[in-house]
Amino acid sequence: MIIFAVFTLVIGKLANLFPVKWKIIICLAICGLLHFISWFSSYGFTKYWNCILMRNHDITEQPMNLQKTTSNVLKEAITFIERNKHRPFLLFVSLLHVHTPLITTEKFQGRSRHGLYGDNVEEMDWMVGRLLDVIDKEGLKNTTFIYFASDHGGFLEAHRGNSQLGGWNGIYKGGKGMGGWEGGIRVPGIVRWPGVFPAGTVIDEPTSLMDLYPTVVQLAGGAVPQDRVVDGHTLLPLLQGTEQHSRHEFLFHYCGVFLHAVRWHQKDSGTVWKAHYATPVFEPEASGACFRRGICPCFGDGVTHHDPPLLFNLSQDPSEANPVSADTEPLFDTVVRRIRRAVEEHRKTLTPVPQQLSPYNNIWKPWLQPCCGTFPFCWCHEENNIA
């Protein structure tokens, strides 16, 4: 529209159809050019600047080709295993499955009876199987500790047209892992180490991904640092059957930096309690999601604060459908006081740090922009380095 306006003024000026000064035309053209540069810098270059695939400190694809990411990740992981098979190694594979967007290669599209989500799950299953095959092929089966940690999946508000892409609750970002919890939803995990842990063992205990650190340290024959608070507990006693219950007496569920809920395993009675100090304002009500907002917020008018907290007996009500009260539960006040004391003790162990997502850190800084071409034309791929 700006180009059309400038072009019309120039034609009108040259044809003497209407009087207009050249200064006005030039100013309008400059303003239009500046507006276009500002818009294109914000939106036109976004996918080139933001979607980056790197190997160590080198950019291999910019923008990242999502259709090739599955094969790229798999190829790099297999190469890493083969390169390090004669020495101890730690391989962390972060899959893009099953989340949103549900990028599935053509080979697996239409394979499942459960639509795009099912296709994505099948492709992820195939990828994990390929990695296990390589470990077995290289003779590492009995010496490799494998931990598969699932995720909460795409958030419920994720839609494409009339199709819902998310199938799990993505509100709370708390601890998750083997038999762990993601907010109010159980998120299982799988451990494999033939010859050490008996196959088919089910551990019905909540744990946390933070338990992996002390577990791996113990497996490596090391010791967890004693000069700081370590939130995780080794999983070996549970995996080897020497202990029947998780060492986590309390699990704290955060939404961002805000504590929303606390889970307490009352050891003397075996009862599991959960107190909610804040819950999202679902839209529509009772939908379990915030469809009008797009995603449930962690604070402000998008949450409801509870004092006293909403208390649930997870041993009898695992779906957290019916909160108990002082009128219905004789131990209500005792449980709430004990959880409150645990929160106070927990907060004493926290050290405030600068917010990584502060307004300053959210400001785009051109001098920090990764670029594999000539800025601002940052695009390339590994095959010939220049696209």
Q: What is the pLDDT of residues 187-197, one digit of tens each?
A: 567 888 876 77
pLDDT at 69: 85
Rounded Cα distance between 31 and 2, Å, is: 9
Measure the N-to-C terminal CA separation of the chain; round to a whole number of Å: 31
pLDDT at 347: 92
CATH code of 316's domain: 3.30.1120.10
Spell 221-255 as b/e; 16+ CB within 10 A means b: eeeeeeeeeeebbbbbebbeeeeeebbbeebbbeb
Q: Does some domain include residue 262?
A: yes
Q: Does some domain include residue 222?
A: no
With tokens 């606390």, the residue in question is 262
Q: Does some domain include residue 283?
A: yes
Q: Does some domain include residue 8?
A: yes
Task: For residue 335, give its domain range.
Answer: 249-351
Mean pLDDT of 309-333: 92
144 or 276, greater pLDDT: 276
Place 174 in a pLDDT band, splitting at 50, 70 and 90.
Answer: very low
Q: Does some domain include residue 340?
A: yes
- Count, residues in the chain: 387
Per-residue pLDDT reduced to its tens digit, 2-59: 788 888 888 887 887 777 788 888 888 888 888 877 776 666 677 777 888 888 888 8
Give the Å distances, CA to CA, from 253 to 210, 278, 370: 13, 11, 34
What's the mean per-residue pLDDT of the chain?
82
Q: Is the overall model pTM greater than 0.75, yes or no? A: no
Per-residue pLDDT reduced to its tens digit, 265-289: 998 888 999 999 999 998 888 777 7
Q: Does some domain include residue 370?
A: no
Amino acid making up residue 51: C
Whether 387 shows a pLDDT value over 70: the answer reads no
* Torsion (CA) 190, 195, 200, 205 in degrees, nearest 10: -50
Mean pLDDT of 303-312: 94
Q: Does some domain include residue 261?
A: yes
**Partners of 310 in the beta sheet?**
276
Q: Does some domain include residue 322?
A: yes
| Residue whose C-alpha is closest to residue 151's, from 185, 126, 118 | 185
Q: At what angle do helices 2-14 and 22-39 cross, to 10 degrees?
A: 160
Give the Å distances, CA to CA, from 141 to 74, 92, 124, 194: 18, 17, 20, 7
Report how many domains make up the chain: 2
Mean pLDDT of 124-152: 89
